[in-house]
């Protein structure tokens, strides 16, 4: 099941990264059809930079490419591109290594996944997608509608729960999210759920409040499952590019993050952001959102991601 998913996920990543590839790889292919000289290498740094790889990566990669070109004066486009591909994979692999979803080690206890991020980044949609993936893997999933702040947010998750045929615990509008989470964990334990996926409100404009709210939610979780949450995933919209880095840094001040979910890759040419984020934060990207549908979720896998940045086939 999971392997099958991965296979289709590869195609999904390829098509989601089309815009990024058009801007990044096409320019590289054109550039390296010329003779490799100093001027070309200067242009290379601009391409890296404009592909949202981040300043550090753009500089390092240019430097390494210069060295490679010096050592391999006969190298043509294909050799240089595969050199770049290897370097980018190395960055992603070095900066973080645990891409898979951590699960509970305690028999009979649910795995708890807390999902955070600013509004509109795709938290609720991601939860539906992850639930779908887990259900297809035979798991029993329960949702906690912890975004009690935004009007309609709980209903939005409720619609997904209904479509997926799974249980959801919600509260009233403006109810204490920690109370909703408490009820959800209680229900999950009583019903033997394998996973509890918790949606939250992302109000960055009131930072102290958000921090306290997340702490309170965690206390609710830990009353039932002491070593939870097993994952705290920050959902980031890839279309905002480098701004995502800033959001991630801010969120990390509130709560430790175990992984990132990069959404809306299908709608942006800024897919290179994934590399900048990993380089700067060292937090593993675990999932990629590749569309609005419930199936449009891919596991993050460095080789597949980087290869899709360069090649359409
Ligand atoms: N194209 C695209 N749209 C997405 C993706 N993920 C979420 N969205 C859309 O982004 C909007 C906001 O998503 P939502 O889950 O409500 O964000 P939340 O406020 O963080 O819970 C919705 O219209 C989603 O359909 C994705 O991977 N690709
Ligand atoms: Mg939401």
For residue 120, the ligand 1 atom closest to its alpha carbon is: 19
Per-residue pLDDT of the chain in tens (313 residues, 90 and over written 9)? 344 455 457 888 999 999 999 888 889 989 988 888 888 888 999 999 888 898 889 999 999 999 999 999 888 888 999 999 999 999 888 766 666 889 999 999 999 999 999 999 999 999 999 999 999 999 999 999 999 988 899 999 999 999 999 999 999 888 999 999 999 999 999 999 999 999 999 877 677 888 899 999 999 999 999 999 999 999 999 998 888 888 899 889 888 999 999 999 998 888 899 999 888 888 999 999 999 999 999 999 899 999 999 888 8
Rounded to whole angstroms, how far apart are CA atoms 245 and 48?
17
C-alpha of residue 148 to centroid of ligand 2, in Å: 10
The b-or-e profile of 256-290 (16+ CB within 10 A means b, else e) is ebbbbbbbbbbbbbbbbbbbbbbbbbebbbbbbbb
According to the model, what pLDDT value does residue 253 have? 87
Rounded to whole angstroms, how far apart are CA atoms 305 and 10?
8
Size (the chain), residues = 313
According to the model, what pLDDT value does residue 185 have? 98
Name every protein residue with a CB atom under 6 angstroms from any ligand 1 atom.
117, 119-125, 235, 263-264, 266-267, 289-292, 296
Alpha-carbon torsion (160, 161, 163, 164), positive or negative: positive
Instruction: Pick the ligand that lies closest to the CA of residue 153.
Output: 2
Checking DSSP bridges between strand 111-116 and strand 195-200, what pairing results, if any?
A: parallel
According to the model, what pLDDT value does residue 82 have? 92
According to the model, what pLDDT value does residue 3 have? 43
**Ligand 1 pocket: which of 122, 128, 298 to mutate (most atoms <8 Å of CB)?**
122
C-alpha of residue 192 to centroid of ligand 2, in Å: 26
According to the model, what pLDDT value does residue 96 have? 63
Tokens for 46, please give them. 């601009």
| Protein residue closest via CA to atom 17 of ligand 1 | 122
C-alpha of residue 21 to centroid of ligand 2, in Å: 29
Three-state helix/strand/coil letters over 212-246: HHHHHHHHHHHHHCCCCCCEEEEEEEHHHCCHHHH
According to the model, what pLDDT value does residue 197 have? 98
For residue 156, the ligand 1 atom closest to its alpha carbon is: 16
According to the model, what pLDDT value does residue 9 have? 74
According to the model, what pLDDT value does residue 1 have? 39
Checking DSSP bridges between strand 285-289 and strand 167-169, what pairing results, if any?
A: unpaired
Instruction: Pick the ligand that lies closest to the CA of residue 235.
Output: 1
According to the model, what pLDDT value does residue 95 have? 65
**Ligand 1 pocket: which of 12, 15, 18, 125 to mutate (most atoms <8 Å of CB)?**
125
């Amino acid at each position: 099941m999971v392997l099958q998913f991965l296979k289709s996920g590869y195609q999904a990543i390829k098509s989601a990264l089309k815009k990024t590839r058009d801007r990044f790889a096409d320019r590289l292919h054109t550039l390296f059809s010329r003779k490799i000289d100093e001027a070309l290498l200067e242009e290379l740094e601009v391409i890296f930079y404009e592909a949202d790889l981040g300043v550090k990566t753009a500089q390092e990669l240019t430097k390494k490419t210069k060295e490679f070109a010096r050592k391999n004066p006969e190298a043509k486009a294909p050799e240089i591109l595969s050199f770049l591909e290897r370097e980018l994979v190395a960055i992603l692999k070095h900066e973080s290594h645990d891409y898979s979803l951590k699960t509970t080690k305690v028999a009979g206890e649910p795995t708890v996944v807390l999902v955070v991020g600013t509004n509109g980044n795709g938290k609720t949609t991601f939860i539906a997608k992850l639930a779908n993936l887990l259900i297809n893997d035979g798991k029993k999933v329960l949702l906690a509608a912890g975004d009690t702040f935004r009007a309609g947010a709980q209903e939005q998750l409720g619609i997904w729960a209904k479509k997926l045929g799974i249980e959801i615990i919600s509260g009233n509008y403006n109810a204490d999210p920690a109370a909703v989470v408490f009820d959800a964990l209680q229900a999950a334990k009583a019903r033997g759920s394998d996973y509890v996926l918790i949606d939250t409100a992302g109000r960055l404009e009131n930072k102290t409040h958000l921090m306290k709210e997340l702490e309170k939610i965690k206390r609710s979780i830990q009353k039932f499952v002491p070593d939870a949450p097993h994952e705290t995933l920050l959902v980031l919209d890839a279309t905002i590019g480098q701004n995502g880095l800033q959001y991630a840094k801010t969120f990390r001040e509130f709560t430790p993050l175990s992984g990132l979910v990069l959404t809306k890759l299908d709608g942006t040419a800024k897919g290179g952001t994934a590399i900048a984020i990993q380089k700067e934060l060292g937090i593993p990207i675990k999932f990629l959102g590749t569309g609005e549908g419930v199936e449009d979720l891919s596991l993050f896998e460095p080789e597949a991601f980087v290869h899709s940045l360069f090649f359409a086939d």
